[in-house]
């Protein structure tokens, strides 16, 4: 039929070999871009590993740092690090103290000369990066930081466990949320493009008619990347709706969904609503568990065919 939308199934996913080739290609580009192939760091007399050791010692200025800790933190061979530390001692960049409980574990620290060398190198590094992004718009800088945060989160997920914050809605969030919800529901449930269209309609209406005295939006962010959101929408003087709750798969299990729901409930109470309601589908099991745990109760179910699937819609309510 002419008015039917084309089915938008899950997007094509790269195979393992394609992903490996793409990652290796990016590594070659990035190492060349920031000069990691150069023998010396930013045309200084120091190699990259020496500079990393200086950095580690500078960051640990107020705590004890040992050769073992540095080797572990930088994944360096202890023998190689020992030779490097002796060289840096001869250069008078670092000094060793006597271990308080173990003479073999002698704490390391930068000398005054070492601190001056590190300060110069740190400033040179900042200047080089500044020159690389000079003239970029705020949007371009934001896009880069988001991409870098995504790479770090995927390659080192344990480093960010629990480290998220909730913030208000800002420019660019709406388009991102529409994109991510459309993509995630296609991947996880096989929903077609009509769901993405619905999200776009809901959020367009929210932005156009936004009433800060009666509505709200909360964005969960981790390492500069959006990992979830929820919206409080006015339905009437006494009833509000919780809408479009979602959490990125990489951030699930951190309590973000619970936090978003609780923030929405708290705000609804502050705005003196008497009832908070929401509509969901029975296949969204994790979300339904969050609603039940928050005190919502199921008031109505109805089968329907939407988003290319046979579903059971559910209406839940919470007395405030």
Query: What pLDDT is recorded for position 40?
Result: 67
Structural domain count, the chain: 2
What domain range includes position 257? 165-319
Does residue 8 form part of some domain?
Answer: no
pLDDT at 203 over 90: yes
- CATH classification at residue 66: 1.10.10.10
Considering the chain, what is the average pLDDT of its residues?
A: 84
Query: What pLDDT is recorded for position 67?
Result: 84
Tell me the pLDDT band of 153, cut-offs 50, 70 and 90.
low
Q: Are residues 269 and 183 in the same domain?
A: yes
Domain closes at, from 129, 156, 183: 156
For the segment 83-116, what is each residue's pLDDT rounded down to a tens digit?
Answer: 888 988 898 988 887 655 554 567 888 889 988 9
- CATH classification at residue 293: 3.40.630.30
Does residue 79 form part of some domain?
Answer: yes
Coarse DSSP helix, strand, coil percentages of the chain, rounded to the nearest 5 percent: 50, 20, 30
Asked if residue 197 lies in contact with residue 5, where contact means CB atoms within 8 angstroms, the answer is yes
User: β-pairing, 297-306 with 94-96?
Assistant: unpaired
What number of CA atoms fall less than 13 Å from residue 38's CA on the CB side?
14
Tell me the pLDDT band of 6, cut-offs 50, 70 and 90.
very low
């Amino acid at each position: 039929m002419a008015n039917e939308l084309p089915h938008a199934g899950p997007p094509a996913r790269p195979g393992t070999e394609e992903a490996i080739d793409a990652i290796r290609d990016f590594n070659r580009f990035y190492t060349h871009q920031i000069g990691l192939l150069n023998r010396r760091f930013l045309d200084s007399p120091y190699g990259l590993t020496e500079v990393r050791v200086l950095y580690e010692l500078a960051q640990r200025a107020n705590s004890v740092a040992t050769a073992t800790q540095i080797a572990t933190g930088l994944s360096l061979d202890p023998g190689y690090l020992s030779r490097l530390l002796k060289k840096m001692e001869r250069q008078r960049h670092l000094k060793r103290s006597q271990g308080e409980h173990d003479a073999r574990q002698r704490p390391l620290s930068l000398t005054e000369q070492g601190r001056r060398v590190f300060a110069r190198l740190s400033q040179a590094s900042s200047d080089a990066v500044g020159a690389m992004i000079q003239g970029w718009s705020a949007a371009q800088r934001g896009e880069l930081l988001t991409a870098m945060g995504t790479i770090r989160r995927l390659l080192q997920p344990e480093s960010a466990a629990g480290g998220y914050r909730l913030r208000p809605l800002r420019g660019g969030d709406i388009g991102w949320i529409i994109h991510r919800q459309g993509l995630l529901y296609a991947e996880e449930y096989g929903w077609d493009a009509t769901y993405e269209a619905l999200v776009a309609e809901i959020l367009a209406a929210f932005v156009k008619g936004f009433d800060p005295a009666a509505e709200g939006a909360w964005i969960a962010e981790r390492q500069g990347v959006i990992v979830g959101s929820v919206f409080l929408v006015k339905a009437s003087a006494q009833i509000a709706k919780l809408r479009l709750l979602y959490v990125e798969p990489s951030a699930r299990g951190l309590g973000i969904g619970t936090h978003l729901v609780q923030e929405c409930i708290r705000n609804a109470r502050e705005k003196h609503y008497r009832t908070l309601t929401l509509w969901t589908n029975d296949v969204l099991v994790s979300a339904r568990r969050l609603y039940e745990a928050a005190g919502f109760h199921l008031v109505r179910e109805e089968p329907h065919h939407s988003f290319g699937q046979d579903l059971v819609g559910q209406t839940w309510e919470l007395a405030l």
